[in-house]
Amino acid sequence: MTPQPFTRRTSEEELSDLRARLRATRWPDAPEDAGWTLGADVAYLRELAGYWADGFDWPAREAELAALPRFRVRLGGLGIHFVHARAVAPAGPALPLVLAHGWPDSFWRYTKVIPLLTDPGAHGGDPADAFDVVVPDMPGFGYSDHPPRPLDSIAVAGLWADLMTVLGYERFGAAGGDIGSGVSRFLALDHPDRVVAVHRIDAGMPVYQGDPADLAPEERAFLGAAAAWGAAEGAYAAMHRTKPQTAAVGLTDSPAGLAAWIVEKLRSWSDCGGDVERSYTKDEILTNVMLYWLTGTIGSSMRMYHANAAIPLEQHARRVEVPSGFSLFPGDLAHPPRAWLERVANVVHFRELPRGGHFAPFEEPELYVEELREFFRPYRNRPQVR
């Protein structure tokens, strides 16, 4: 139960194997001028793969990640990897904050915001807004162990509560997006005595079993828009929920295939105007993809969708009573109205931001951090550490 410092140094053999696979890729044909309309743009992926094989400096990126205070600890029979960055010269007690990522990412999602949260005084902020930041990789993601059976968001929330106990935090804040939004929600639902407040950048895809006539017009429109999005864009999620192992075979074997599966979502879900490199550099994209490639976690990460699909409906109907904040970014998948958020949570903070998307902590780190600082400010005067 004692966290151990963690670093990972990729061997030259692993990198040579990756380059050989990239150079030997059998590329599919594509209809003329298809671009991204049918999925991943093969022309862009060929360019990206060429840079991956012959220009991308993974050892340099790996060294940057190694500069973060990273650890592993045994929880629930699994090795869990996490970043634990303590506040730098806080003006008063630092608020512990656990940040929950989603798919297709890992602790990578929060790498830009960690220094801003732990040392606001060095980044134009108030030192009184400093956080102790904890960013775990969910089981089956990043450098955490692959679980022998898929875990759902409820189980992961329980692990994160245990992790905060191991780190000595009795009370803490929680924040997340995508699957991490659900994990943060269940942290607040199942551990309301410990979570001082919960911040989310989405409310997940809506689940409603009541009479639609009981909903406000904007709520009905939201449910309709979410269903339309699922019909047009949700094929990946249907695969993850039902037959993840089928896709995992090819995606674990082919780096080009893995990049296609991930990069198409980075582009589609970001506020990039159709140009993925408006939101991410090639190095940033490939760092995210490499964390999946080297750990072989694309299959285990997809299996979490299968586990979450089995969560009982009554769990979705529970209302979060812990003070809740929502910061909605225009490039994200779904845009719940405030009426819906009030239905599912005790909303004390609601804001629609001018730019950013599904990966807002990476796309717009300053905007995201300012939302966290403002939202959690009233909850700093409570005892946090045992």
Q: Known catalytic residues?
A: 178, 305, 358
- Tokens representing 68 are 């973060």
For tokens 């998307």, the residue is 357
SS3 category, 254? coil
- Which strand ranges, in their side-by-side order, compose the sheet holding 95-100? 4-5, 70-75, 78-85, 131-136, 95-100, 172-176, 195-200, 320-328, 345-352
DSSP assignment letter at 151: -
CA-to-CA separations, 265 to 37, 63, 315, in angstroms, rounded: 13, 26, 28
Query: Among residues 122, 70, 126, which one has the least CA distance to residue 94?
Result: 126
Q: How far apart are CA 145 and CA 158, in angstroms?
A: 16
- Tokens representing 21 are 């696979």
